């Protein structure tokens, strides 16, 4: 089934800057932020809790760009997973291994598009804040 085919992904969510959910070490990390009393979410990829693998220690995720409104988050996660599935070398390659191999930029592009589209997203976000 689909979830089995995706393989291992650690998705960590923290509701605030206290980071109780350890979003910063999730393969995909989600941090809740308050913007003018509304729920927004910052997305990170590439965090790792330090699994035993040669050359792979703990690492903090990298923020992929401007935050998202609550309703947008499921679509963002789906785009990140689609990016991973399209770029993995085999069914055995995990999400975190793909991030380490290709970097964060392809994941940013899958969510925001090119730099012009990212700037437009940022402008729209500032207008709604």
pLDDT tens by residue, 68-89: 999 999 999 999 999 999 999 9
- What's the burial of 30, exposed, middle or buried (CB within 10 Å: 0-12/13-18/19+)? buried
Q: Tens digit of pLDDT for each residue in 85-121?
A: 999 999 989 999 999 999 999 999 999 986 566 566 6
How far the first Cα of the chain sits from its last, in Å, is: 40
For each of the domains in the chain, give its residue range(s) and CATH number, in order of start.
Answer: 2-128 (3.30.413.10)
Beta-carbon neighbour count of residue 111 at 10 Å?
23
Give the predicted TM-score (pTM) of the model. Answer: 0.83
């Amino acid at each position: 089934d689909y979830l089995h085919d995706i393989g291992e992904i650690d998705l960590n969510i923290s509701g605030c800057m206290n980071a109780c959910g350890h979003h910063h070490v999730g393969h995909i990390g989600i941090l809740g932020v308050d913007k003018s009393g509304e729920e927004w979410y910052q997305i990170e990829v590439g965090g790792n809790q330090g699994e035993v693998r040669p050359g792979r220690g703990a690492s903090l995720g990298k923020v992929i760009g401007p935050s998202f409104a609550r309703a947008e988050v499921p679509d963002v996660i789906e785009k990140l997973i689609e990016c991973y599935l399209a770029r993995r070398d085999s069914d055995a390659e995990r999400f975190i291994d793909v991030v380490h191999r290709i970097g964060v930029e392809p994941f940013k592009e899958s969510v925001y598009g090119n730099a012009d589209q990212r700037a437009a997203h940022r402008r729209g976000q500032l207008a709604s804040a």
